[in-house]
Amino acid sequence: MSGQHPPHRHADAAASRDPHDRHAHGAPGDMRAYGLSTVLNGVLVVAQLGAGFWLGSVALIADAAHNAADVLGLLAAWGAAALALRRPDARHTYGYARSTILAALLNAALILVACGALAWESLGRLFSAHPAPSGVAVMVVASIAFAVNVGSAALFYRGQHHDLNQRGAFLHLAGDAAVSLAVVVAGGLIWWTGLGWIDPAAGLLVSLVVAWTGVRLMRDALALSLDAVPRDLDLAQIRQCLLAIPGIIGLHDLHVWALSTTVNALTAHLEHDGARDPDALLADVRAALAERFSLHHTTLQLEASDCAQRC
């Protein structure tokens, strides 16, 4: 006996509620967060570039380039989030939810590229003579950028706990807020001391810190793209939970992977002693996996204890 779910209803309204037919979670608030953050950061990039060229501040121009990477990352994440909500079709039976993992990879790459560019620019300014820009003007512009980045990051704070795609957007925006704050501090120190090297030194330090967040995001996204067990799940605990259910005496071919940055899937062959009603046994397994591990997309096959087949 195989399977876990009752026969699918074919009405569109019913199918839209079936977790087999939707492999990503989304809400209008999530889409608004992507849209609002993209617009805010797009305006910010234009304003910072204008101020940077007007003031002759390479730090502000570098920060604007970093924020421009934000806009590209947000556009990718926004598009992936929209694709993830599309219904599966005859060719893409899992839908398009895995595009969110690709977007997380792209976002991580953009973080690392932006940090590399910022570090390179900072090193160049440390070892070459450049006139110091107006410290007060740099502080004002960077303070506005800091406020925009903090506000944009706050839009993804809740969602980043359960969605790697939103986590990538949150980390990217939080990293940019840290960069902008460093520019604020550097502008204040330039205004106070007149030392122009403070700005590139702060930029170099912050770029290294932000790069570490990009490395972590890249590692997690690569793991999901290779169908690794999601970081928040423990395969040994899942196995122990299944074996503790009355009637289950063994299991094999246990696989857990991410369908998207929000939905995980499980498949397993469960050996049972034949003493319980199969439907009741499957119901207990479903309930345990959903309650303990938030695994709602599962495919299970029951096998009698004397079944010699191993596939």
**Which residue would you say has higher pLDDT here, 79 or 110?**
110
pLDDT at 238 over 90: yes
Query: Is 15 contained in some domain?
Result: no
Tens digit of each residue's pLDDT (9 = 90 or more) over 262-281: 678 999 999 998 888 999 99
pLDDT at 2 over 60: no
**Which residue would you say has higher pLDDT here, 172 or 227?**
227
133 & 255 share domain? no
Q: How many residues does the structure list for the chain?
A: 311
User: Strand pairing of 264-272 and 297-304?
Assistant: parallel
Instruction: Quickly state the pLDDT bin for 30 (edges 50, 70, 90).
Output: low
287 & 138 share domain? no
Q: Chain-wide mean pLDDT for the chain?
A: 76
44 & 168 share domain? yes
pLDDT at 13 over 80: no
Query: Is 172 contained in some domain?
Result: yes
**Which residue would you say has higher pLDDT here, 152 or 11?**
152
190 & 243 share domain? no
pLDDT at residue 157, rounded to an integer: 72
Number of structural domains found in the chain: 2
CATH number, residue 265: 3.30.70.1350
Closest CA to 219 of 233, 234, 235, 230: 230
- Check: pTM over 0.75? Answer yes or no: no
195 & 288 share domain? no
Query: Is 8 contained in some domain?
Result: no
pLDDT at residue 176, rounded to an integer: 76
Please report how the helices 135-155 and 164-193 are oriented relative to each other, as an axis angle in degrees rounded to 10: 160
User: Residues 283-292: what's their mean pLDDT?
Assistant: 92
Tens digit of each residue's pLDDT (9 = 90 or more) over 186-224: 888 888 887 777 777 777 777 787 788 778 878 888 887
- Are 101 and 163 in contact by the 8 Å Cβ rule? The answer is no
280 & 134 share domain? no
**Which residue would you say has higher pLDDT here, 306 or 122?**
122
Query: Is 68 contained in some domain?
Result: yes
Residue-number span of the structural domain to which 100 is assigned:
20-225
